[in-house]
Amino acid sequence: MRPEYLRVRGVDLADQQVDWLAGGVRRSIASERSVGTAAELFLARGFDRVGMDDVATAVGCSRATLYRHFRGKAALIDAVLARSAIAVADRVAAAVSRYDGSRRIVEATLASITAVRSDPALARWFADRTGGSNEVFASSTELGRIATMLTGITPDDEAAQWIVRCCHCCAGRCPMPRASGAWWSGS
């Protein structure tokens, strides 16, 4: 156990120290490296065909080290998807900044679907899933909060979940209009 003076608000200060040799906070660098490597493996093999052993080997660390950063495969998948979701939210926010009202809702929904389809990790996630296995994703309160923010609607959990479900439903299955007016299925 580390001495109490090395802990502030429950955070181990040793985990937050900048390592001049690593070029930053070692824990953050290790987590990012693990997430990046896991994303590459998930894209190459699919989410269901990659285990924690595979990621640890590819990262060059032990399973114990990987589990120190991520409680399990689900947490690692969450980290990969969260990184992609942040990028999608940034793209959508930029795309809809000039709109308001109902036009913003429509544009945010279309931009979200397009961004999800073009993000390799999210596209693979939806391609690997069928039926109701995305229920957790579709009913995420965090995604509902993001949908509320991006569309500019008054906070309304039901409306936000409806928007998330529409995007989720269309992310890999429904055709999307191209700028030319032609329809495409994302492939």
Distance CA 55, CA 40 (A): 10
In this predicted model, what pLDDT tens digit does every residue of 50-102 receive, in sequence order? 999 999 999 999 999 999 989 999 889 888 888 888 888 899 999 999 999 98
Q: How far apart are CA 116 and CA 88, in angstroms?
A: 6
The pLDDT of 122-137, averaged and rounded, is: 65
Mean pLDDT in residue range 97-108: 90
Q: Encode burial over 88-116: b for 16+ CB neighbours within 10 A, e otherwise.
A: bbebbeebbeebeeeebbebbbbbbbbbb
Residue 186 has pLDDT above 60, yes or no: no
pLDDT of residue 136: 56
Reported confidence tier of residue 138, pLDDT bands at 50, 70, 90: low
Tokens of 43: 């894209």
pLDDT band of residue 168 (cuts 50, 70, 90) is confident
Which of 21-25, 46-50, 131-135 has the highest mean predicted lDDT (pLDDT)? 46-50
Average pLDDT, the chain: 76
More reliable by pLDDT, 58 or 137 = 58
CB 4 within 8 A of CB 29: no
Q: Average the pLDDT over 30-48 and give the result.
A: 91
Helix axes 141-151, 73-96, angle to 10 degrees: 10
